[in-house]
Chains A and B, each alone.
Chain A
Amino acid sequence: MKPIRIITPTGHLGTTPLEKGSFERGCAQRPDYIIADSGSADIGPYPLGADRPASSEVWQRHDLEAMLVAARKLGIPMIIGSASDTGTNRGVDQYVRLIKEIAAQHKLAPFKLAAVYSEVPVSDLIHRVQAGETIAGLNGRPTADLALLKRTDRVVAVMGVEPIRAVLRDGADVIIAGRSGDCAIFAAPILNAGGGEADAYFCGKAMECASFCGEPFMGKETILGRVDSEGVFLTAMHPAQRCTPASVASHAMYERLNPFREYVPGGFLDMSRCRYEQVDEKTTRVTGQTFVADAETWIKLEGAGKVAERALFILGIRDPYTIANLDRAIDWTKGKLAERFGPVGGTYDVFYHDYGRGAVMGEMEPTPAKSPLEVGIVVEVTCDDAARAEVICHIAAKNLFYARLPDVKGTAGTAAIMSDEVLHARPAYEWTLNHIIKAKDQSEFFSTRFETIHA
């Protein structure tokens, strides 16, 4: 195969800005591609469900500008996956707009842009289930039924390599892709150059979070990946960072339940026999990975739906007696809520996040809290109706101020109120779909649009 060299400056384009120094060093290596992923499911279900970006457009533009200007100067393709955090059609269109604005600002020569869309209408999935297709649950989730789909506001399919390979073959200079597998955006050009699947997907797996595969720990620094007939080579571009066998191997297990397998549409990457070798100060070579093809193509679906409106209130408690009896005080306030609004968990719900006393780990906390000096409480109320959520949240918080405990000495208020107001939170959403669906081929759920960008 023809050796392929790729740089990636960020593991999640747009969250915080990429670092220019190592990016420029990467560009000076004259790579064949500049690639970055812009998505994450870590941000919770709200951005997908409500179709809003999680990142600031200031940083999205910053990173796209650095990458686009460099890619056009070098005359090489640029690939962005999972546009604007979630990869919805809105995200793709937003990034296409930014690319046009940046091209105009820098008076770039005309280039060919491909937008690859990955949103799937919920109605389409409902029809498929009614027609007998299976939407199988991942990670122990049950098969999706109509009730689950009806609770879902927005769905993206996660693309594999094929839609990206196709637009590269058709001459795309800039690819803005909807929701994409982390590996896929890197593996696609390597496969097009004649690389094997195992090396292509491994290179993607190692590079998807940029400098997270190097040591010491640094974010937003550029990594150079090379694939040739000798294996996969990963090189850190920051002067103080190295890719070592330990750093590359430990990244292989990052954010994954299993460090030996990476599932992609059409099979999985088997990393159980990988060999990691330091080949120079900053570079590790990886060989021994294999690819196990699946006769069927399954595409992952991510979906989110709105659960309720939400309101918050912030309190603090200093009285050691109240802190020692906080469960009783909370039970009392819940009882007062039930008297007026019906049972908690019925038409509304309330959560007392007791920071200092177990809020972070909750039921998973093995260590009983010692008596903290202070406890901070965020009262969270969810309810279908925003105005009612506000009323309930106000009472849910204020009743802690008036909590009735038998031996309380501070009878002028049992909580410190940071600001006497209910805070309007964005609505509560939930991840409804973490599922897979069988596809005819890897292109089934995706559509492509080409456009020539003239500054």
Chain B
Amino acid sequence: MTTLKDLASTIRSKNAGVDLITFDIIFRDRDAFVRVRDSAVITPARVADMFRVPPADITDFVVFEPARAIKFTIRRKVPSGSPGERDVFGSQQYPPLFEIRIPD
């Protein structure tokens, strides 16, 4: 079974300003990008479900052809660095994406 981490060269998360965390899935290989894009298994609904946030908290979802990338952005529950913060830079929220299964 092929998973996203087998096909993408970069899977990352990072703050986009103080209220948002943005996720980038980037493919070095164009065929891999096309395969994942056309499989349509990565959708706003799917990532909202995966990260346990309401669909309205997925603020942006784009397929970005020039960088062979899929990109989406999640609204934080509280601004970065507030009391109780667990990831000030938003840089360790991406690993669950690794195991998304991509059909052959």
Contact between chains at B88 and A44 (CB < 8 Å): yes
A69–B64 alpha-carbon span in the complex (Å): 41
Q: Are A361 and B50 in contact (CB under 8 A)?
A: no
Closest chain B CB from A303 CB (angstroms): 10
Bound CA–CA A308/B82 (angstroms): 10
Q: Which residues between 31 and 89 of chain B lie within 8 Å of chain A, taking CB atoms? A: 50-53, 59-60, 62, 64, 66-69, 71, 73-75, 77-89
Which of the residues B19, B24, B93 comes within 8 Å of A138, measured between beta carbons?
Answer: B19
- When the two chains form their complex, are residues A45 and B15 in contact, meaning their CB atoms are under 8 A apart? no
Least distance between A373 CB and chain B CB atoms (Å)? 19
The residue from B19, B64, B93 contacting A434, defined by CB atoms under 8 A apart: B19
B83 touches A250 (CB 8 A): no
Would you call A366 and B51 a contact (CB within 8 A)?
yes
A259-B64, A363-B77, A364-B52 known; A434 vs B83 contact (CB < 8 Å):
no
Q: Give the residues in chain B near A429, CB-CB below 8 Å.
A: 81
Q: Chain B residues near A258 (CB, 8 Å)?
A: 60, 62, 73
User: For the complex, is B14 an interface residue (Cβ under 8 Å from A)?
Assistant: yes
Q: Indicate the member of A43, A246, A302 with the most B CB atoms within 10 Å.
A: A246
**Option from B10, B22, B62, B87 in Cβ contact (under 8 Å) with A360:** B87
A139 contacts B81, C-beta separation under 8 Å: no
Q: Are B24 and A250 in contact (CB under 8 A)?
A: yes
Does residue A431 face the partner (Cβ distance < 8 Å to B)? yes
In the complex, which residues of chain B have a beta carbon less than 8 angstroms from the beta carbon of A255? Answer: 14-16, 22
The answer to whether A307 touches B83 (Cβ under 8 A) is yes
Q: With A255-B15, A256-B16 in contact, is A359–B59 under 8 Å at CB?
A: no
Q: Which residue of B lies closest to A300 (CB)?
A: B17
Are A45 and B82 in contact, CB atoms less than 8 angstroms apart? yes
A73 to B71 Cα, complex, angstroms? 43
> Which residue of chain A lies nearest to B84 when distances are taken between CB atoms in the complex?
A351
Query: What's the minimum C-beta distance from B28 to chain A, rounded to whole angstroms?
Result: 7
Nearest-CB residue, chain A, relative to B75? A140
A19 interface hit (Cβ, 8 Å): no
Per-residue CB contact flags for chain A residues 378-408 toward chain B (1 = under 8 Å, else 0) read 0010100000000000000000000000000
- Which residues from 112 to 157 on chain A have a C-beta closer than 8 Å to any C-beta of chain B? 138-141
Q: In whole angstroms, how far apart are the Cα atoms of A366 and B88 in the complex?
A: 20
**Cβ–Cβ contact B84 & A257, under 8 A:** no
Beyond A360-B86, A366-B52, whether A250 also contacts B19 by CB under 8 A is no
The one of A46, A139, A365, A380 that contacts B84, using a Cβ cutoff of 8 Å = A380
Interface residues on A, range: 35 or more
Contacts of B66 in A (CB 8 A): 245-246, 249, 252, 274, 276
Q: For the complex formed, measure the closest distance between the CB of A314 and the CB atoms of chain B, giving whole angstroms.
A: 15
Q: Give A254 to B17 CA distance when docked, in angstroms.
A: 11
**A430 lies within 8 A of chain B by Cβ:** yes
User: How far does the Cβ of A362 sit from chain B's closest Cβ, in whole Å?
Assistant: 5
* Known interface pairs A250-B67, A257-B60; A307-B82 also in contact (CB < 8 Å): yes
Decide: B96 and A430 in contact? CB cutoff 8 A: no
Contact flag A257-B79 (CB < 8 Å), given A249-B64, A250-B26, A366-B96 = no
CB of A339 closer than 8 Å to a CB of B? no
- Cα–Cα distance between A349 and B85 once the two chains are bound (Å): 13
Q: Which residues of B contact A326 (CB under 8 A)?
A: none
Judging by beta carbons under 8 Å apart, are B67 and A139 in contact? no
On whether the beta carbons of A367 and B96 are closer than 8 Å, the reply is yes
Q: A249 and B67 in contact (CB under 8 A), knowing A141-B19, A254-B14, A430-B81?
A: yes
Are A259's CB and B18's CB within 8 A?
Answer: no
A253 within 8 A of partner (CB): yes
Contact A434 B86 (CB under 8 A): no
Q: Which 5 A-B pairs have the closest CB atoms?
A: A44-B81, A249-B66, A249-B67, A250-B67, A431-B79
Residues of A within 8 A of B (CB): 41-46, 138-141, 245-246, 249-250, 252-260, 274, 276, 302, 307-308, 310, 349, 351, 353, 359-367, 380, 382, 428-431, 434
5 additional A-B residue pairs with CB within 8 Å, beyond A367-B96, A431-B82: A42-B88, A257-B16, A257-B59, A259-B64, A431-B79
